[in-house]
Structure 1
Amino acid sequence: MLKWYEDANRQQDVIISSRIRLNRNVKGYAFPEQLKDADREGLIGLLKGGIQDAAPNLKYQSLAPGQKAEKDVLRERRVINSAMAESGRKMGLFMSDDESESVLICGDDHIRIQCSMGGLSLQKLWSRANDLDDAVNEKFAYAFDSKYGYLTAFPTTMGTGLKASVLLHLPVTASGRQFRKLLEEITRIGLTIKGAYGEPTENYGALYQISNQKTLGLSEENIIATVHQIAGQIAAQERKARMLLQKEHRGEREDETYKSYGVLKYARRLSLKEGMTYLSQIRAGLNDGYIHMQNPVNIYGLMLGIQPANLAENAGHPVKEEELDVLRAEYIRSQLPDLDGNK
């Protein structure tokens, strides 16, 4: 089955994907970090049984402290965060075959529901996540306070427990002089924007995530509407900037796109920086009509595929550092379609 991020038909221009997360804790239990090993084992067993009944379409896998390679794959695919990938605590994960839905147990909180989809799809995802949350809530009573809402391990998720985020591709906006001002404006309205794979100065690929900073005192509908609106506005700015470049620098942009394609299609070694940078340029070139391919391809899916842990998983064996650049080039050559010479 195709993963949700591999579906070329769901690929959008600027807005890559949307995600909804819900953090919950079971009433009567300490937060995961405070649990003793025996209590953790007992809670994981309890949650596993209940969630299997509530969401029979999700498959379970244990995440033990020693499973670093498996957890790194999930981190690169944005299923778990870096802290959970590095955690020495045992966790469990339920996930759909296409990876669009997951439930992490005993991570930061007892339960973390996540739903992802291509494009600007927060409202649809909220409906799916809310239905899954209701099904799980029928099995377990949540820790809830009439004043503070859902009680969570971190103050930033207390309240609704909801984090709504949108992933955008901003190669032009992020390179402009006004980008820092944009970051400051977004922070002032209670949102945050950060590089998907590092700080803005080293965020190769120009992928940026915008999300709400807090949930306390806000409704789910308000959070979703705000993130949706601001993500749409930033996407519109990026499109406008690209249109201006098309008018004034089309030849340069077209040349840049074809050079990027040539490197990716024929290189025998590619660093992660090179792979992400050239794929970003091709993604923009495809969306802006500078280049055409014989078959559709989801460039974001390729960006995930060239991450180190995913390359090792694809190889089927542990990979030495010096092998990664060779495997990355081989992977891209095998996945990148030929150009359509008729367009």
Structure 2
Amino acid sequence: MTSIEKFLQNAVTPWMGSRGEHSDIVLSTRIRLARNLAGHRFPLDFSREEAEDVERQAAAVLTGEDNSFSCIPMDSMPALKRQVLVEKHLISPQLADPERPGTVILSDDESISIMINEEDHIRIQVIYPGLHLMEAYEQADELDDRLEAKLPYAFDGDFGYITSCPTNTGTGLRASVMLHLPALSMTNNMGRIAQAVSRLGMVVRGSYGEGSDALGNVYQVSNQITLGKSERDILKDLLDLTERLIEQEERARRALLERTSVKLEDRIWRSYGILSNARVLATDEAATRLSDVRLGIDLGIIEGVDVSVLNELMIFMQPAFLQQFAGETLQPGERDVFRAKLIRERIGMERGMEDKTEE
């Protein structure tokens, strides 16, 4: 087993390699529920003793009789490993802050991550591959019921669940889908779409949420309204919007194939060649090239490469992952060299496997 294979064996989150519904466009579905305990100040204004009490109560419910969860205090984890969890979308940058007394409770397959003492006392997060809003919500709701049966939630009959930020009050539900929209990006439609989405009470952000860029044409679409609508209505509205975006992306892909097929194929194969041979790759270029190749796989232009490899590489090319693999701190220029090496060798592994299959 090569060093890359060993690294991937330990680093890959199991759900990343799964194929869900509409997985050629929808990378993942995420459900997040924000909850707080009655009688405790919010995390932005409480003491370490209060933080430890919240952690103890939540951990007792989830890990007491269930060994499929691990409780990991942030202050026991090196900064690099905390950042890796951010890059894997398992915790927020806020929870990774070493000045804050936070904890994450993770399921073995990392499809469930429960952030303790982030902006709210408890943030339940469930991630599914592809488009599975209802399934992800039902699992999050089951965990929520399990916690609420043992813990005194802060709840108001008129306003619903009380949260640190008023924009989460009500259901406390933030549902999102991660979409790969290269054709809509290539045809310069994303600005128009983002404006239209905002009028529907939804928001389009980059792959790492508010303030982040849409690396590799990956966008996160989520609800903005949590008060005045039921959970089911929020999920239905997001599902309807997602299905419309899928249809628009599929139309844009067909149009590109019909009108500029040679240019499109040339772009895709050039990106494949660069990823297979480059010695230096910055984050933005790597993300763009990976997006092109993923589109090529989804359109049947490139064969013999599993799309899950592209999913992995979009995560593994991030700074913390690169340094974890290298086993040392890397300066930006060194990361660009190491990123190119990792991507080159990973794609080479896929090519090698294809050659063996053909033999």
TM-score greater than 0.5 by the shorter chain? yes
Q: Please give the alpha-carbon distance, in whole angstroms, between the structure 2 residues aligned to 1:266 and 1:103.
A: 40
Contact 1:3 1:97 in 2 (8 A): no
- Write out per-residue CA displacement over residues 244-297 of structure 1, whole angstroms, 9 at most, x where no aligned residue: 111111111111111111111111221111110100000111001111125563
Tell me which amino acid in the other structure corresponds to 2:324: E
Contact 1:8 1:298 in 2 (8 A): no
- Change over 3 Å in CA distance of 1:294–1:22 after alignment to 2: closer
- Match in the other structure for 1:204: 215
What is the TM-score with the length of structure 2 in the denominator? Answer: 0.89
Q: Which piece of structure 1 moves more, 196-205 or 26-35?
A: 196-205
Contact 1:55 1:135 in 2 (8 A): no
Q: Please give the alpha-carbon distance, in whole angstroms, between the structure 2 residues aligned to 1:204 and 1:289.
A: 23
- Change over 3 Å in CA distance of 1:113–1:55 after alignment to 2: farther
Matched, 1:6 2:27: no
Matched, 1:258 2:269: yes
Task: Give, in angstroms, the shift of residue 5 of structure 1.
Answer: 4.5
- Write out per-residue CA displacement over residues 185-230 of structure 1, whole angstroms, 9 at most, x where no aligned residue: 1111110011115889953300000000021111000011111110
Q: Please give the alpha-carbon distance, in whole angstroms, between the structure 2 residues aligned to 1:274 and 1:22.
A: 34
- Change over 3 Å in CA distance of 1:229–1:17 after alignment to 2: same
- Change over 3 Å in CA distance of 1:33–1:200 after alignment to 2: closer
- Match in the other structure for 1:117: 128
- Write out per-residue CA displacement over residues 76-123 of structure 1, whole angstroms, 9 at most, x where no aligned residue: 111222333346211111112221111111111111100001111000
Q: Please give the alpha-carbon distance, in whole angstroms, between the structure 2 residues aligned to 1:178 and 1:133.
A: 38
- Match in the other structure for 2:109: 98
Q: Which piece of structure 1 moves more, 21-30 or 331-340?
A: 331-340
Task: Give, in angstroms, the shift of residue 66 of structure 1.
Answer: 7.7
Q: Please give the alpha-carbon distance, in whole angstroms, between the structure 2 residues aligned to 1:204 and 1:89.
A: 28
- Change over 3 Å in CA distance of 1:178–1:318 after alignment to 2: closer
Contact 2:61 2:150 in 1 (8 A): yes
- Write out per-residue CA displacement over residues 146-180 of structure 1, whole angstroms, 9 at most, x where no aligned residue: 00000010111110111110010111212434432
Higher percent of residues as helix = 2
Contact 1:151 1:159 in 2 (8 A): yes
Of 311, 327, 337, which aligns to 1:316? 327
DSSP-derived class of the 1:59 partner: strand
- Change over 3 Å in CA distance of 1:202–1:224 after alignment to 2: closer
DSSP-derived class of the 2:182 partner: coil
Matched, 1:136 2:147: yes
Matched, 1:154 2:171: no
- Change over 3 Å in CA distance of 1:252–1:199 after alignment to 2: farther
DSSP-derived class of the 1:290 partner: coil
Task: Give, in angstroms, the shift of residue 55 of structure 1.
Answer: 4.8
Of 280, 285, 291, which aligns to 2:291? 280
Q: What does residue range 39-54 of structure 1 map to in structure 2 within 5 Å?
A: 39-53=50-64
Q: What does residue range 240-259 of structure 1 map to in structure 2 within 5 Å?
A: 240-259=251-270
- Change over 3 Å in CA distance of 1:283–1:295 after alignment to 2: closer
- Write out per-residue CA displacement over residues 44-86 of structure 1, whole angstroms, 9 at most, x where no aligned residue: 2232223213753111111029843222111111122233334
Q: Please give the alpha-carbon distance, in whole angstroms, between the structure 1 residues aligned to 2:307 and 2:195.
A: 37
DSSP-derived class of the 1:167 partner: strand
DSSP-derived class of the 2:138 partner: helix
What is the TM-score with the length of structure 1 in the denominator? Answer: 0.93
Instruction: Give the unaligned 5+ runs of structure 1.
Output: none
Contact 1:25 1:142 in 2 (8 A): yes
- Match in the other structure for 1:191: 202
Instruction: Give aligned-pair identity as a percent.
Output: 33
- Change over 3 Å in CA distance of 1:276–1:106 after alignment to 2: same
Contact 2:91 2:104 in 1 (8 A): no
Q: Please give the alpha-carbon distance, in whole angstroms, between the structure 1 residues aligned to 2:334 and 2:139.
A: 41
Tell me which amino acid in the other structure corresponds to 2:303: H
- Change over 3 Å in CA distance of 1:187–1:84 after alignment to 2: same
Of 337, 342, 353, which aligns to 1:326? 337
- The CA RMSD measured in Å over matched residues stands at 2.3
